[in-house]
Chain A
Amino acid sequence: MLWFLFLLPWLVACLAMVMPSNRWRPWLVPIGGLAHLILTGFAVAGGPVTILQDWLALDPLSILVLGFVSTLFFICSLYAPGYLAQRPERSNRVFCACLSSMLGMMTLVIMAHHLGLMWVAIEATTLATAPLLYFNHTPRSLEATWKYLLIGSVGIALALLGTFCLAYSSIYEGLEPTLLLEDLVSLAPKLSMPWLHAAFVLLLVGYGTKMGLAPMHTWKPDAYGEAPGLVGALLAGGVTSCAFLAILRFYQICMNAPEATFVREILIVIGLFSMAVAAVFMIRQRDFKRMLAYSSVEHMGILVLGIGIGGVAAFGALLHMITNGLTKGVLFLSAGNIHRAFGSKNTDDVQGAMKRLPISGPLFLAGFLMVTGSPPGGPFISELTILIGTIQAEKYLVAGLFLATMSIVFIGMGSTVLRVVQGVPSAKVASTPYRERPELVIPIIVFFVLALALGLWIPPPLETILHNAVAYLDGGVS
C-alpha cells in the first residue's frame, strides 16, 4: 500500500511527460490526485505500518499530515485543468509533471523515518516546485524562481549539516550510529547534548527556511507573489506542512532528551518573531499576493509557537496546520482569479472585486476574515486553542504578544483586502475577457466549506487522529 502511495504520483508524472495532447493532459493531475486520496483513505483507515526496515512508516503524525496534504492536493488539482485551459498557448507538460512529482515527493517526506532520506525528499520538493514558479515566464517570475531555488537550497544544505550533527551526537557517546527516527527517539536520553543543540539549531534554520519562518522568509513574498495561485496554495499548505513535519521529527527527539526547555524556548521566540515581522510587512502592503505570503509567514510562526508551548497548544497547532492550509487554499485560488480578471495584483489597479467577480470576490473577503481568526471559521478554533494553551501554561506575556500581533495583522491585512473587494472596477478592467467559470470557483467553494465546517464541528475521526498525533509527539515511540 505505502509503495503505491508514493509511486503513483511518479507514474502520473511520467504519463504527463509522454502524453501528447496539451488539452487533455491537465486532467491527469486530478485523476492522479483522486487515486492518491483514495489510497490515502485506505492507508489512514489501516493505521500505522512500517516498510523497508523502518525507513518508511505511517505513524500517527504522518497519518494526520498525509491525510491533509492529499486532500489539499486533490482540491487544488481540480483547479488545474480550468486554469491551464486559460493558457492554451503554453505547453503544460512540465507543469503537470512537476505538480505530480511534487505530490510524490511530499508523500515521501511524510513517510520517511530515516532522517537522511527525509532530507533528500525535502530538497527534491524544492527542485520539483522551481519550474512551477517559472510557469508564467516573466522576468519577475524568473527572479522569484532564482531566489526560491538558491535560498531554499542553501537553507536545506544547513539542515543536512544539522542532520550530520545529530548522527554525530550518537557517535560521540559511543552509541551505534543511526539516523532512524525510532532509534534516535529511544536513544535520545543518552545523546551528546552539545551536538544535539547544534543539530536542532541548524535544522531549525534549514527547515525553517523551507517553512518560511522569519528571518529566513525572504524568498516567500517573491515566490508566492509570482507563482500561479494554484502553486501558491500548494506551497503554503502542502510544502510548508512537510517542512513543519520535519521540524516536528526533531522536536520529538529533543523532547525525549533532557533539557527540552531549550528547544521549546527557541520555538516560542522564533514563532513570535515570525508573527511580528509578518505584521510589520503586512501594513500598507499594496500587492495582495505578497500580502498572502506574509500571512503565511505569520501562520508558520503560529504553528511553531503552538508546538513550543506544548500540551493543549500543540493540539491547536496541529489543527491549525489543517485549518490554515484550507483557508490559504481559498485565499490563493481566489486571489489568482482576481489577478487574472484585473491583470494586476496591485491595489492601485484592483478595486471592486466583489462587483467584477461575484463569487471569487466575496470568497476572498471571507477567506481573509477566517484566516485572521474571526469566528466561526476553522482558524478561529485552532488559534483559540493555542491561546488557551498559552494561558494554561501561564505564559501571559506570550499570550499578550500573540493577541497584539494578531490584531495588527487584522488591521494591516484588512485595509489591503477591503481596497481590493470594495469600490467600483474601472471601465478598462470591466472589459477584460475573464469571466467566472464553474471549474475555477468550485475548488474555492470546497476549500471554503471545509475550512468553515472545521470551525463548527470537528469530526470524531479527525479528533482521534489529532489526539493520537499529539500523544505520539509527546510520548515518543508509538
Chain B
Amino acid sequence: MNRFVDPVLIFVLLLNFVVLGASRIRTMIQAVAVQGALLGILIMLAHGSFMFIGVMMALVAILLKGILIPHMLFRAIRDVAIRREVDPLVGFIASLFLGAGGTGLAVLFSRTLPIIHADTGTLIVPAAVSTVITGFLILTTRRKAITQVVGYLILENGIFVFGLLLMDAIPLLVELGVLLDLFVAIFVMGIIIHKINKEFSSVNTHMLSELKE
C-alpha cells in the first residue's frame, strides 16, 4: 500500500466532521464533493502503479463523486430554493461529539478485526467504519430530504473506502456498475426532491408522515 494513502484518509475523516458540523447545506455538499474526489485519488494510490485501468477508474470516480453528483445536488437546492439551513434533530455540537465517539469506536473495533498483515498498518478499516457511522448519523439526525441524500452519499463513500482493500477482487466492470447505480440513484432522488418541494412547499421529511399505522 502506498505511503500517501494514510494522509489522504485523514482528510477523508476530517471531512466527516466538516459535514457533521455544517450548518449550511452548501457546505455539506462541498465537503462531500471533496471527499468523493479524494476517493478517486485513493484508488490511484492504492493501485500503486499508474496503470491505465487504475487511472481510468480514478477519473471516473472523481468525475461522478466529485463533480457530477454534487452538481446535481447544487442544482436541486437552487431549483427548489430550499432554505439554506440544515435543520438538525440533534444539535451540531452533539453531532460532532457523536461523530468523534463513533470514530474512536471505529478505531478500537478495527483493532479487533482479523486483518491481513499488509493492511494492519493502514487507516483504511477505521476510516471506512467511521465514515459509515457518520453516514448513518447524518441519515438519522438531519431532517431535510437533501441532507438525507448527503448521508447516503457519505455511507457509500465509507463502503468505497473499504473496497480499497479489495482492489484485485472486484473487477472494473462491477466498480463501474456500482458508480453508475449511485449516479442514477442520486439522479432519481433529485427528481423526487423536486416533486416533494412542489407538492409540500417544503423538503422537510417530517412533512412525509402521512403514511403510518
**Which positions in A face B, CB cutoff 8 Å?**
114, 116-117, 119-120, 123-124, 126-127, 130-131, 134, 139-140, 142-147, 149-150, 153-154, 157, 160-161, 164, 167-168, 170-172, 174, 177-179, 192, 194-195, 221-222, 225-226, 281
A178–B166 Cα distance when bound, in Å, is: 10
Q: Which residue of A lies closest to B193 (CB)?
A: A146
B205, closest chain A residue (CB): A146
A326–chain B nearest beta-carbon distance, Å = 28
How close is A304's CB to chain B, nearest CB, in angstroms? Answer: 23
Residues of the A chain whose Cβ atoms lie less than 8 Å from the Cβ of B184: 124, 127
Number of A-B contacts (CB under 8 A): 113
B79 within 8 A of partner (CB): no
Q: Cα distance A421–B174 when bound, in Å?
A: 49
Q: In the complex, what distance in Å separates the CA atom of A164 from the CA atom of B184?
A: 22
Residues of A with C-beta under 8 A to B188: 127, 130-131, 149
Which B residues lie within 8 Å of A139 (CB)? 199-200, 210
The 8 A CB mask of B194-213 against A (1 = contact, 0 = none) is 01100110000100111101
Q: Is the CB of B199 within 8 A of A160?
A: no
Q: Does the CB pair A150–B189 fall under 8 Å?
A: yes
- Does B41 sit at the interface, judged by CB under 8 A? no
Q: Contact between A143 and B211 (Cβ–Cβ < 8 Å)? A: yes
Find chain A residues with CB under 8 A from B178 CB: 116, 119-120, 160
Chain A residues contacting B185 (CB-CB under 8 Å) are: 123, 126-127, 149, 153
Distance in angstroms from B127 CB to nearest chain A CB is 14
Residues of B within 8 A of A161 (CB): 132, 159, 162
Inter-chain contact B159/A116, CB cutoff 8 Å: no
Judged by a CB distance under 8 angstroms, whether B115 is at the interface is yes
Cβ A143 vs Cβ B152 within 8 A: no
> Chain B 166-186 against A: per-residue CB contact (8 Å), 1 yes, 0 no?
101111011001101100110
Contact with A along B128-155 (1 / 0, CB 8 A): 0000100000010000010010001001
> With a CB–CB cut-off of 8 A, which chain B residues contact A134?
192, 195
The answer to whether A124 and B181 have CB atoms under 8 Å apart is yes
Q: Please determine whether A226 and B211 come into contact, CB atoms closer than 8 angstroms.
A: yes
Given contacts A145-B192, A177-B168, contact A171 B116 (CB under 8 A): yes
CB of A157 to closest CB in B, whole Å:
5
Residues B174 and A114 in contact, CB atoms below 8 Å apart: yes
Closest 4 CB pairs of A and B: A177-B169, A116-B174, A120-B177, A167-B169
B60 to chain A, nearest CB (A): 15
- Closest chain A residue, CB of each to CB of B189: A149
Q: Which residue of B lies closest to A169 (CB)?
A: B114
Please name all residues of chain A whose beta carbon is closer than 8 Å to the beta carbon of B177 when the two chains form the complex: 116-117, 120
What are the residues of chain B within 8 A of A124 when measuring CB–CB? 181, 184
The docked-state distance in angstroms from the alpha carbon of A235 to that of B183 is 23
Closest to B181 in A: A123
Q: Report whether B169 and A157 are in contact in the complex, using a CB–CB cutoff of 8 Å.
A: no
B152 near A154 (CB under 8 angstroms)? yes
Q: Is the CB of A117 within 8 A of B208?
A: no
In the complex, are the beta carbons of B181 and A195 less than 8 A apart?
no
CA distance A123 to B148 in the complex (A): 18
- Expressed in whole angstroms, the Cα–Cα distance for A168 and B115 within the complex equals 9
Q: Given A154-B139, A177-B168 in contact, is the A164-B210 Cβ separation under 8 Å? A: no
- A179 and B210 contact, CB distance less than 8 A: no
**Smallest CB separation, B139 vs chain A (Å):** 7
Known contacts A117-B173, A149-B185; is A281 also within 8 Å of B166 by CB? Answer: no
B173 partner residues in chain A, CB cutoff 8 A: 117
Q: A161-B159, A177-B169 are in contact. Are A120 and B174 (CB under 8 A)?
A: yes
Residues of B within 8 A of A160 (CB): 159, 178
A195: nearest chain-B partner, CB-CB: B114
User: Which residues of chain A are near B180, meaning CB under 8 Å?
Assistant: 120
Tell me the complex Cα distance, A428–B181, Å. 47
Is B163 part of the contact surface with A, judged by Cβ < 8 Å? yes
- Most chain-B Cβ atoms within 10 A of its Cβ — which of A139, A195, A225? A139
- B residues near A222, Cβ cutoff 8 Å: 211
In angstroms, Cα B169 to Cα A134, docked, is 38
A-chain residues with CB within 8 Å of residue B171 when the two chains form the complex = 114, 116
Candidates B145, B168, B210; contact of A140 at CB < 8 Å: B210
Let me know if B174 and A143 touch, CB within 8 A.
Answer: no
* A–B pairs, 25, beta carbons within 8 Å: A119-B178, A124-B181, A124-B184, A127-B181, A127-B188, A130-B192, A140-B210, A142-B195, A149-B189, A149-B192, A153-B152, A154-B152, A157-B155, A164-B162, A164-B165, A164-B166, A164-B170, A168-B165, A172-B114, A179-B169, A179-B170, A192-B114, A195-B114, A222-B211, A281-B213
Question: Which residues of chain A are near B195, meaning CB under 8 Å?
Answer: 134, 142
Q: Which residues of A contact B200 (CB under 8 A)?
A: 139
From residue B200, how far is it (CB to closest CB) to chain A in Å?
Answer: 7
Contacts of A221 in B (CB 8 A): 211, 213
| Chain A residues with CB below 8 A from B145, complex form | 146
Bound form: Cα–Cα A161–B156 in Å: 9
Q: How far is the CA of A150 from the CA of B156 in the complex (A)?
A: 13
- Chain B nearest CB, measured from A331 CB (Å): 20
